[in-house]
Amino acid sequence: MGIKIACIPADNSGNKLWLKELRINEKRLYLKYRTTYNDIPFTETEIFPVDGGNNFAITGTDGTVLYRFSINWLKGLEIS
């Protein structure tokens, strides 16, 4: 079976955010993501719960929220 990837609308202009390979390590959540905004390959990052645990955020190195998405988008991904 192949890797499951979630494809999330990133804006109203047709850009997408792709998520895959959800991983838990010592109660921290990590996943690989990429977007159509640039040509950077999938990059692993830690994700953080926000909005009372209803959403997750991918942040930059300075803590700025780059992407926010519903926890429901993670339900289809396999946890490793």
For residue 40, the model assigns a pLDDT of 92
DSSP type of residue 26? T
Q: For the chain, how far is it from start to end, CA to CA, in angstroms?
A: 14
pTM to 2 decimal places: 0.88
For residue 4 the two structure tokens come to 């499951």
In which band, very low, low, confident or very high, does the pLDDT at 54 lie, cut at 50, 70 and 90? very high
For residue 1, the model assigns a pLDDT of 55
pLDDT digits (tens, 9 = 90+) for 1-53: 568 899 999 999 999 999 999 999 999 999 999 999 999 999 999 999 999 99
For residue 79, the model assigns a pLDDT of 81
Q: Is the pLDDT of residue 65 over 80?
A: yes
